[in-house]
């Protein structure tokens, strides 16, 4: 499982994408990304998640902040990104 950091923005998006892809490649049978720690983000977070889904189509994204789920709907990505909202 790869846990997203607290902040995803244009300054760190490329390093997070790289780290996440490396981590997920090491555990292909456990393609899960957790958004439990994610608190500060913008649409760049969606681009990272899209890269993960492209590389690992069976990916599950758990504990997604409700704001991230809403943002995915605004961009029309709710059918593509397998987001499971966190319980608050």
* Structure confidence by residue, pLDDT tens digits, 2-24: 999 999 999 999 999 999 999 99
User: Mean pLDDT across the stretch 20-34?
Assistant: 91
CATH assignment at residue 9: 3.30.750.24
Instruction: Report d(CA 41, CA 55) in Å as an integer.
Output: 22
- CB neighbourhood size of 85 (10 A): 16
63-83 per-position pLDDT tens digit: 999 999 999 999 999 889 989
Domain that holds residue 34: 2-85
The mean per-residue pLDDT over the stretch 52-72 comes to 94
Quote the number of domains for the chain: 1
């Amino acid at each position: 499982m790869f846990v997203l950091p607290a902040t995803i923005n244009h300054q760190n998006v490329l390093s997070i994408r790289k780290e996440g892809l490396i981590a997920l490649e090491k555990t292909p049978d456990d393609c899960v990304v957790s958004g439990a720690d994610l608190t500060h983000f913008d649409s760049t977070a969606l681009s990272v998640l899209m890269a993960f889904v492209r590389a690992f189509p069976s990916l599950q994204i758990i504990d997604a902040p409700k704001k991230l789920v809403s943002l995915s709907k605004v961009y029309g990505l709710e059918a593509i990104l397998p987001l499971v909202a966190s319980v608050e």
